[in-house]
Amino acid sequence: MKKFLLLLFLPMSLILTQCKQTDHSGQPTSVQVIKQSPIDSILSKLTKQFAGTHKTRMEKGVKQCAALWKASDGNEKDFENFCLQYFVNDPEKLDKLFQRLSNNFESVFGHYNMVSLDLKRGMQLDIGEMLDVDQIFAAYEPGAHFNDDFFNNKLAFVTALNFPFYSLKEKEELGPKWSRSEWAYARMGDMFTARVPAEVNVKIAEALTAADNYISNYNIYMGNLLDDQQKTHFAKEMKLISHWNLRDELKANYNKSEEGLLKQKMIYQVMLRIINQDIPESVINNPALQWNPVTNKVFNNGSEVANTREPDTRYAILLNNFNVMKSMDPYTPMYPSFIMRSFDGGMELPEEQVEKLFTDLCSSPEVKLVGDLISKRLGRPLLPFDIWYDGFKARSSMNMELLDKTTRAKYPDTRAFESDIPNMLIKLGFKPDKAKEIASHITVDPARGSGHAWGAQMKGDKAHLRTRIGKTGMDYKGYNIAVHELGHNVEQTISLYFVDYYMMQGVPNTAFTEAYAFTFQKHDIELLGIKNNDPDKDALAAIDNFWMSYEIMGVSLLDMKVWKWMYANPTATKEQLKDMVVKTAIEIWNQYYAPVFGEKDSPILAIYSHMIDNPLYLSNYPVGHLIDFQLDQFLQGKNFADESIRIYSAGRLIPQLWMKNAVGSEISIKPLLDATDAGLKKLSVRATSGSKK
C-alpha cells in the first residue's frame, strides 16, 4: 500500500473565490480584505504598463492574491505596491523566477520529507521496542507551518501572482494544447490556493499518526486461535495484522482442502468480530491469551478468563479523522468538504464519475458469470470471504509451502531484498545501467506493520520500501506485498528523476502509482525464475483483475457513503457511526454481492484498515485496477521497461490526458468487461473441449 501522505506541507489543488478570514473568536468569517475596486485599479495599471500582454495570467494572479490577502498582510495600498513590484511580464525573467522557485521548493519539500520519514522510524520500523515518545515524534510534521511561513514572507503571493491556478475544467480544455513548460507553470499555480492554519495541519497530523499507530499494532496471534475442541490450526509464531495479513492468509488457504477451508472460516470470524467490535480487547496484539473467535471466549493456559470487548475504538479513530479533516473545510471554500478535496482536488476525478465506474461494474452481468466460475472451481457454493478468491493467479496452483521456502532462502533480511533489486529490474527488461540507476535510489527498511512505499521528494534522496520480514526470512505473502511496494518505488523514482520539470514530478493521482504497483506485482512469480506456460494465462489475468476490481469497488463505495453520512451527521457518536458502517456495508453487500454469493447480510466489506488510517484513499485501488488493466493490455508485446519510462516520465498531467498519452484512451471499465467476456468464453470452450476428450 502506498501510504497516504498528508499534504500538510504540499499545496492542495484548490481555488478560492474569497478568503476565509478569522475573527477574534477564532471562527472563520467570509470577509475579503481586498475589494473589487482596487483590483480593477491594479489591473488597469498593469495593463497600461505592459501594453495588455499576458492579460489572462495577470487577471488570474491578481484576483487569486486578493482572495488570499489578509489584513495582517497589509492594507490596499500595500497590496497594490506588491502587485506592481512583483508581477513579472518578461518571458525570460518569468522562466528564471520559475526555475528559482522550483529549485527551492524541491529543497524545502525534499528535506521536510526526509525529516518526517526519519522521525517515524521508531513507530514504523522494526528496530526494537517502540517507546512512548516514538508516536509523538511520528506526529511531528516539519512542514506544518509551510503555508503560514510562505504567506507571511510573501513568497506564496509572488508565486500565485505570476503562476496562477487553473481549474480542472480549464486544464481539461487547455491542457491538450499546452507545452511541457506551460503544464509546469500550471502545476506551480496549484501551490498556494488556500491558507490552512498550521494548528489545523498539526491536528490532522496527530490524528492520522494515531490512526496509523492503532492499525500498525492491530495484530492477531493466529497460533492462539482455538476451535471448539480447543485445537489450534495456525503456526504458533504466526502474527497477522488486520486486515492485510488476515486477508492474505485467507487467500493462501485456497489450495489446502478441508483444513484450508476451516482456517478461512476462522479468519472470517475474526474479521466479523473486528468489524462489529465485539472482539475481546485483551486478544489484540497479545501473545499470552488464547481465543475462540466463534464462541468469543478467551482462555489463559486452558482456563477461561473474563474479557471485555474493544470499546468501539475502530470507529472512534474514524470519527476523529472526520473531525480533523472537517476542521479544514472553512479554509477551502471552493472545495468545502474533505470529500471534494479528495476527488475533485486530489484525484482530479469527480466523485460522481468515480462512483459510476464502480456501480456500473458491480452491476454488470459479468459478476454473476465469474462468481459461477469460481463456485465451480471451488466445488462448493460461494462464501462471503470468496470476494478474495485468488485462484486465477499463476501462483494459485502452486505449492505455497514451496513458495515460502523459496522466498525465505532468497530473502533472509531486508539487505538481501535490496541487493536483488537491480537483478529484478533487469528481468523485467530494464537495461543494466538503468536498472542500477533506479535501484540506487531505493532502500529497503524492516517494517513493524505490513509495509508501505514512501517516495523521495527531491533528487539525491531515496525512496523507501518498508517491508515486514520474519525471523525465518521473507515468506511468499510478504514477498508478494514487497514486489507491489517495489513497483511504487520504481514509479516514484522514474516520476522524480526522469521528469523534465520538478513541478511535474509524480503522477496524476495515487491510483496511477497503484496501477503500476499492480502491474509490477503480477510479475512476482516470474521474478523468482518460475515460468508460467499456461495457455489461459491472459484470460485468467483479465478475470482476476475483474474480480479484484469488483471486490474493492464495493469497499470503496462503502468508504464514500460513510464519509457522506458523517458530513450529514457531524455530531454522531462512535456507537452511531459503528451501527451506520455495519448497516451500510450490509446494504451494499445485499445490492451488489448477495445475488452472486447467495448469502445476505454480510458486513465483510467494512474490514478494510484503509478506512481507518487512510481517509478516502480506497477509491484509488479500483481506479488503479482499471488503469492497470488498460496499461497491461497496452504493454503486451512491447518492452515493459522502455514503456514504463516513457509513460511515467510524463509526470503529473491530469488523469484523462495522462491516460490518452499513455495508452490512447481514457479510464474506462469497457476494456476490462470485454476482456472478461472473452476470457470466460475461452475457458468455457477449453472446458467443453476437455470434457469431450
pLDDT for 692 beyond 60 = no
Closest C-alpha to 602, from 389, 390, 385, 388: 385
Beta bridge partners of 443: 464
The C-alpha cell that represents 105 in the structure block: 521548493
CA 165 – CA 162 distance, rounded (Å): 10
Contact partners, residue 173, CB within 8 Å, separation at least 6 = none
What does the pLDDT average to over 266-282? 98
pLDDT for 280 beyond 90 = yes
Q: Using alpha carbons, list the distances in angstroms from residue 313 to 150, 265, 296, 429.
A: 38, 25, 18, 47
Single-letter code of the amino acid located at 584: T
pLDDT, position 108: 97
pLDDT, position 27: 40
Beta bridge partners of 237: none
pLDDT, position 646: 97
pLDDT, position 533: 79
pLDDT band at 691, cuts 50/70/90?
very low
CA 393 – CA 397 distance, rounded (Å): 8
CA 663 – CA 490 distance, rounded (Å): 19
290-309 per-residue burial string, b: 16 or more CB within 10 A, e: under 16: bbbbbeeebbeeeeeeebee
pLDDT, position 21: 39
pLDDT for 542 beyond 50 = yes
pLDDT, position 394: 62
Closest C-alpha to 484, from 472, 495, 468, 470: 468
Write down the pTM of the prediction.
Answer: 0.81
Q: Using alpha carbons, list the distances in angstroms from residue 687 to 248, 376, 543.
A: 29, 11, 16
Q: How many CA atoms lie within 13 A of 410 on its CB side?
A: 20
**pLDDT-above-90 percentage for the chain:** 78
pLDDT, position 408: 96
pLDDT, tens digit (0-9, with 9 covering 90-100), for 214-253:
999 999 999 999 999 999 999 999 999 999 999 999 999 9
pLDDT, position 198: 81
Closest C-alpha to 163, from 459, 495, 501: 501
Closest C-alpha to 192, from 58, 331, 40, 46: 331
pLDDT, position 308: 98
pLDDT, tens digit (0-9, with 9 covering 90-100), for 32-47:
789 999 999 999 999 9
Closest C-alpha to 500, from 642, 627, 635, 648: 648
Parallel, antiparallel, or unpaired for β 219-221 and 239-241?
antiparallel
pLDDT, position 144: 83
Cβ atoms 494, 459 nearer than 8 A: no
The C-alpha cell that represents 565 in the structure block: 453520512
CA 599 – CA 608 distance, rounded (Å): 20
Average pLDDT over all residues of the chain: 91
pLDDT for 387 beyond 90 = yes
Cβ atoms 676, 547 nearer than 8 A: no
Altogether, the residues listed in the chain come to a count of 693
Single-letter code of the amino acid located at 106: E
Q: Max Cα separation, the chain?
A: 90
pLDDT band at 2, cuts 50/70/90?
very low
The C-alpha cell that represents 321 in the structure block: 479523522
What does the pLDDT average to over 134-147? 89
Q: Using alpha carbons, list the distances in angstroms from residue 434 to 424, 439, 641.
A: 12, 8, 9
Least confidently predicted of 162-176, 327-341, 597-611:
327-341
CA 86 – CA 59 distance, rounded (Å): 14
Residue 600: CB atoms within 10 A of its CB come to: 12
pLDDT, position 139: 87
HEC string of 435-483?
HHHHHCCEEEEEECCCEEEECCCCECECEEEEECCECCECCHHHHHHHH
CA 647 – CA 638 distance, rounded (Å): 12
pLDDT for 396 beyond 70 = no
The C-alpha cell that represents 446 in the structure block: 524492516
| Angle in degrees, CA 510, 516, 518, rounded to 5 | 100
Helix (H) or strand (E) holding 529, with range, is none
Single-letter code of the amino acid located at 383: L
CA 528 – CA 403 distance, rounded (Å): 9
Q: What is the DSSP string of 140-192?
A: --TTTTHHHHHHHTSHHHHHHHHS----HHHHHHHGGG--HHHHHHHHHTTSS
pLDDT, position 522: 87
3-state secondary structure of 225: strand
pLDDT for 28 beyond 70 = no
Which residue do the cell numbers 521497461 mark? 641
pLDDT band at 687, cuts 50/70/90?
low
pLDDT band at 511, cuts 50/70/90?
confident
Cβ atoms 315, 578 nearer than 8 A: yes
| Angle in degrees, CA 595, 599, 602, rounded to 5 | 105
pLDDT for 24 beyond 50 = no
Crossing angle of helices 537-568 and 366-378, in 10° steps, is 120
Closest C-alpha to 305, from 187, 391, 224, 415: 224
pLDDT, position 268: 98
The C-alpha cell that represents 63 in the structure block: 484576483
